[in-house]
Amino acid sequence: MAITRRQLVASAGLLAGGSTAVARTKRGARATPSGFLWGTAISAHQSEGNNTASDSWLLETITPTAFKDPSGDACDSFARYAEDLDIAASLGLNCYRFGIEWARIEPAQGMFSQAALDHYVRVLEACHARGLLPIVTYNHFTVPLWFAMRGGFEVADGADLFARFCERATARLGSLIGMASTFNEANILGLRKVLPRFASDAAAENARAMIAAAARRTNAPRFSSMLFGDPDKINTVMLDAHAKGLAAIKAGPGSFPAGVTLTMQEIQGVGPGNRAAWAEETMYSGWIEAARSSDFVGVQTYSRLRINDRGLMPSEPGVPLTDMGYENYPSAIGATIRYAAKHIGRPIYLTETGIGTTDDAARAAFIDATVAEVAKCIADGIPVKGYLYWSLLDNFEWTSGYAKQFGLVAVDRRTFKRTPKPSAQVLARHARANRL
Ligand code: BGC
């Protein structure tokens, strides 16, 4: 599908209009700052299906595995992306955050797939054709299998290989990209260190056994996968990879805001001697500074963490839990946006928040609560420029498999038929009213 100049200009206008000027509606309510982005987010591996050249594909299919289900066909979005974009556009959204998959673009080291890049050109063009500003994630946890086999982000030159991927992908796609982030939740391993269950329980043991099995199967003793590797080694290399990747992306072609998205959960210190400061340092370890030198920060918030003098506390009695087992606590969103404003001071996009639940009324309430949180922040003068719900579709929820449902749209696992849920209309109403 050819993209017209008008479509490109219309998309660019969304960005240019990111000022804090607000208009008044007829009823006197405050209209949203012009250029505000309303959207959904998704990742390549979780939706495309058959990402066979990735590290995750091996980990999901090996014995033992930490994954409840293999990703398999996922939502078949590799083939059905136009249908997904049609749904997003029909909801009145004006942006779409998705991933390009390194394992498809560089399936063997140094061998770049023209066909894979052409595919993403088509996806980008399809976004513009529907008035959806494409927000591209260059890495959303998965890496090519060859990259994991040589040590992933635990070896220093992993940063250079990531930067080369960024450069090659930007060379082909840059002129169509609306915004981009190097990494999704670059600090995810910092969060993992704060959550003790990952370090101690049977799931962690199982994950270690899975990585050992992958190392044996591939005859790669240094096998390292981002979500399961050594947090300290990986963090150092990823900070370098972000800096180099960002420079490669900024070199163009294309001239669009480029940044990073962070997992940002509200940290509440409880009681004397609480370790909230430790939790903050551990969760962000270097990424607040990295975000400060990016064009924007993507805030991604799902809940709060209460921290006492021993570390993470169990959930508070009386606070409802999501199906993920953590608290349904939407006011954490306002808290993390304020934290980002104070400590990072760059334009803020709420690039992810959502709720894993089979109770769609709870999802609708969560969306309303999110909008209220964003509105309060904007009223206080914080430069929040967009809100993207995770996720458009029920998709592959990593180790939890397909049972956990974050989507506005259900996906039949056999036919891939998409069925929007009532909560999709709740987001649509907010987007159409464009009022915060
Ligand atoms: C990740 C997504 C994930 C979502 C819900 C975020 O941490 O970026 O990949 O599906 O949370 O758990």
What are the tens digits of pLDDT across the range 15-55? 433 333 333 334 445 667 789 999 999 999 999 999 999 99
What are the tens digits of pLDDT across the range 235-274? 999 999 999 999 999 999 999 999 999 999 999 999 999 9
390 lines ligand 1 (CB under 6 A): yes
What are the tens digits of pLDDT across the range 270-302? 999 999 999 999 999 999 999 999 999 999 999
138 lines ligand 1 (CB under 6 A): no
Tell me, in angstroms, the distance from the centre of ligand 1 to residue 119's CA.
24
142 CB-contact burial (10 Å; exposed 0-12 / middle 13-18 / buried 19+):
buried
Residue nearest to atom 12 of ligand 1 (CA): 397
406 lines ligand 1 (CB under 6 A): yes
Q: Using CA atoms, how far apart are residues 147 and 296, in angstroms rounded to an integer?
A: 28
Atom of ligand 1 nearest to the CA of 398: 10
Contacts of 216 (CB under 8 A, 6+ apart): none
What are the tens digits of pLDDT across the range 131-149? 999 999 999 999 999 999 9
Tokens standing for 257?
């805001």
What are the tens digits of pLDDT across the range 55-82? 999 999 999 999 999 999 999 999 999 9
Contacts of 6 (CB under 8 A, 6+ apart): none
* Domains and their CATH numbers in the chain: 5-433 (3.20.20.80)
Is the per-residue pLDDT at 96 higher than 80?
yes
Residue 30's identity, in one-letter code, is R
Would you state the pLDDT for residue 411?
98
Tell me, in angstroms, the distance from the centre of ligand 1 to residue 304's CA.
15
Q: Using CA atoms, how far apart are residues 151 and 155, in angstroms rounded to an integer?
A: 6
User: DSSP assignment, residue 321?
Assistant: B
What torsion, rounded to 10 degrees, do the Cα atoms 370, 372, 376, 379 define?
A: 110
Would you state the pLDDT for residue 238?
98
Tell me, in angstroms, the distance from the centre of ligand 1 to residue 337's CA.
18
Q: Report how far Cα 106 is from the mean position of its chain's Cα atoms.
A: 21
Which backbone phi and psi does 269 adopt, to 5 degrees? -80, 135
266 lines ligand 1 (CB under 6 A): no
The β-bridge partners of 231 are none
Nearest to residue 102, comparing CAs of 184, 157, 176, 190? Answer: 184
Tell me, in angstroms, the distance from the centre of ligand 1 to residue 226's CA.
14
Nearest to residue 373, comparing CAs of 322, 430, 314, 316? Answer: 430
Q: Using CA atoms, how far apart are residues 408 and 364, in angstroms rounded to an integer?
A: 9
Q: Using CA atoms, how far apart are residues 202 and 352, in angstroms rounded to an integer?
A: 29
Average pLDDT for residues 170-197, to the nearest whole number? 95
Q: Using CA atoms, how far apart are residues 210 and 229, in angstroms rounded to an integer?
A: 11
Tell me, in angstroms, the distance from the centre of ligand 1 to residue 399's CA.
11
Which three-class secondary structure state does DSSP give residue 211?
A: helix
User: In a mutational test of the pocket of ligand 1, which residue from 54, 75, 352, 408 has the highest number of ligand atoms less than 8 Å from its CB?
Assistant: 352
User: In a mutational test of the pocket of ligand 1, which residue from 390, 400, 405, 406 has the highest number of ligand atoms less than 8 Å from its CB?
Assistant: 390
Contacts of 38 (CB under 8 A, 6+ apart): 92, 93, 94, 95, 386, 387, 388, 427, 430, 431, 434
Tell me, in angstroms, the distance from the centre of ligand 1 to residue 317's CA.
25
Q: Using CA atoms, how far apart are residues 415 and 287, in angstroms rounded to an integer?
A: 41
397 lines ligand 1 (CB under 6 A): yes
Q: Maximum distance among all alpha carbons in the chain?
A: 67
183 lines ligand 1 (CB under 6 A): no
Nearest to residue 360, comparing CAs of 408, 322, 301? Answer: 408
What torsion, rounded to 10 degrees, do the Cα atoms 112, 114, 115, 120 define?
A: 90
Q: Using CA atoms, how far apart are residues 137 and 42, in angstroms rounded to an integer?
A: 9
